[in-house]
Amino acid sequence: MDIKPLHDTSTINIVSPSNQYNKILLESSKVKDPKGIMEASAYRVFRSEKIINFLTLILFLVAIVIVAIFLLINAFKPTLLSEKLTSSSNTYYFLGGLSSFVMFAKIISILIDLKNLKNSETSYRNEVQRGDTPNGPQYMKNAYKKIILRQIDHNWISIILLWFCSIFLGILYALKDVNTSVSLGIFGRIDFNFKELIRIMFGNANLVITIFIIVLAAWVVLHVFFALSRKKRKSDIEQSFGGKENWITDEVYEKITKGRRKIWFRIFLVINFILILVPALFLFWRWMKNRRKA
């Protein structure tokens, strides 16, 4: 006969107070659906999309206010923009008006997105409440595609910016101290006083180069930050509403990404043609024309 103590503690699980506290703290820190219907992960995705849209909306509203102040200064006190201006500049009016139009259109687009996001959240919550197997919200499907395409857009914008700024900096660095003349045989000699020309155009060339490098480095950091942010948004959508196959097929993915990359590659070639080849051909033509006159 086995003798057991009156108070058998062999089946009692001892929970550490610190572990229990950490578990409660973790559960309480999760952002949950205030109506308690949809899963916390799905609600967090809806919530994060709202925050992103609201922050973008505020950014564009601030930008419009800045442009409005700029236009008012141009209208009533243009000398604050430039001492050479004795009256308001039509160029500034055009640039300010064009910027305002683009930003206003973007604000309307964001407001429409916020409305669609709210309707999509309500529809998804109703499907869950009815016990249906909810499909991925249409807004999230569109957002998923936009994230993919925007990353391609921003990749190419960064490529173009870094490409032309690197060329500009390379030329500026190579020519900032050049003051020489070159013999062209029967065509005589030609002077290249780039040092003075750069001083007139840019002032301190070393300062300009330093500023450009800092700006480009900041751009690269921001590019990486937004790329990682978009990657996380994609991952959150996939984990909360189903895998990638529920959002976009491989065929559609290949089609939209390949098409967008082709568009940007053509833009890249056109910009190279306009900013590099055309000026080079024009300068060569002017040089040949002057040589013939001489």
CA angle 177, 178, 180 (to 5 degrees): 145
The better pLDDT of the pair 277, 102 is held by 102
Q: Is pLDDT above 80 for 29?
A: no
Q: Would you state the pLDDT for residue 25? A: 38
What are 91's two structure tokens?
Answer: 């160029």
Give tens-digit pLDDT for 226-273.
999 999 998 888 888 876 666 677 788 888 899 999 999 999 999 988
Instruction: Give the confidence band of 138 by pLDDT, cuts at 50, 70, 90.
Output: confident
- The Cα 210–Cα 271 span in angstroms is 25
Give tens-digit pLDDT for 72-121.
888 888 777 777 767 777 888 888 889 999 999 999 999 999 999 999 99
CA distances from 245 to 144, 181, 248, 252, 284 (A): 12, 65, 6, 11, 55
pTM exceeds 0.85 for this model: no
- The mean pLDDT of the chain is 80
Q: Would you state the pLDDT for residue 22? A: 45
Q: Is pLDDT above 60 for 13?
A: no
- Contact predicate 218/162, CB 8 Å: no
Q: Which residues contact 167 (CB under 8 A, 6 or more apart)?
A: 276
Q: Which residues contact 156 (CB under 8 A, 6 or more apart)?
A: 261, 264, 265, 267, 268
Task: Of 41-45, 97-101, 134-138, 269-273, give the lowest mean pLDDT range.
Answer: 134-138
The better pLDDT of the pair 134, 202 is held by 202
Matching residue, tokens 């006083």? 193
Ramachandran assignment for 190, one of left (phi > 0), alpha (psi -120 to 50 degrees), beta (any other): beta
Q: Would you state the pLDDT for residue 187? A: 52
- Contact predicate 49/143, CB 8 Å: yes
Q: Would you state the pLDDT for residue 156? A: 95
- The Cα 292–Cα 243 span in angstroms is 69
